[in-house]
Amino acid sequence: MKKLMLISCLFLLAGVDAMAQQYKVITSVESIIPSGLGRSRIINAQEEKDYKEFTSVQTEDDNSRNKSDRDEIRVRNFEETKLLNFFNIGGIRFQNIAANDAMLSSMINSMVADGWELAFVTSAVESDAGKEDGQGIFITRYIFRK
């Protein structure tokens, strides 16, 4: 009976460990700057950071700032995959959008083949704010888990 209980506990612990998940974020940045002057990329960090190392607790009594050097936060090892800009001199380029879709599909398929599941996708736009702006980006975060 004790052996049965021990074996049951081991299976339970193995199941808990199997439920642990890992997440990975990959970001695409697509330029919406007219005349094709912007830069569009897929960015994939190749190193991990522990956010706790760069986190401080602020209280009403403590106005001190986190003294961590911003240079330590930067990731220097990352993949940068070129994408095409949405616009060129002639205006919006649907061919460029289709090319970017093919690149992103390839990236997603590669991640899935490596055992990752596309769990969430979130996007945002910072677009032209009027005559004088002329700049903007379309950013998408692909959140994978396994």
Structure confidence by residue, pLDDT tens digits, 66-113: 555 777 888 888 999 999 988 877 878 899 999 999 999 999 999 999
Binning pLDDT at 50, 70 and 90, where does residue 12 land? low
Up-side HSE of residue 9: CA atoms within 13 Å toward CB? 6
- pLDDT for the residue numbered 1: 62
Q: Is residue 66 a part of any domain in this protein?
A: yes
Does position 52 have pLDDT exceeding 60, yes or no?
A: yes
Question: Rounded to whole angstroms, how far apart are CA atoms 48 and 14?
Answer: 26
Q: Are 120 and 143 in contact (CB under 8 A)?
A: yes
Q: Is residue 2 a part of any domain in this protein?
A: no
- pLDDT for the residue numbered 42: 96
Maximum C-alpha span of the chain: 79
Question: Rounded to whole angstroms, how far apart are CA atoms 138 and 2?
Answer: 60
Contacts of 80 (CB under 8 A, 6+ apart): 41, 42, 43
CA 46 to chain centroid: 11
Domain hosting residue 138, numbered range = 22-145
Percent of the chain with pLDDT over 90: 44
- pLDDT for the residue numbered 101: 97
Does position 17 have pLDDT exceeding 70, yes or no?
A: no
Q: Specify the number of domains making up the chain.
A: 1
Q: Is residue 1 a part of any domain in this protein?
A: no
Over residues 30-50, the pLDDT tens digits come to 988 777 678 899 999 999 989
* Among the listed residues 67, 20, 73, 86, the one whose alpha carbon sits nearest the alpha carbon of residue 47: 73
Enter the pTM of the model: 0.75
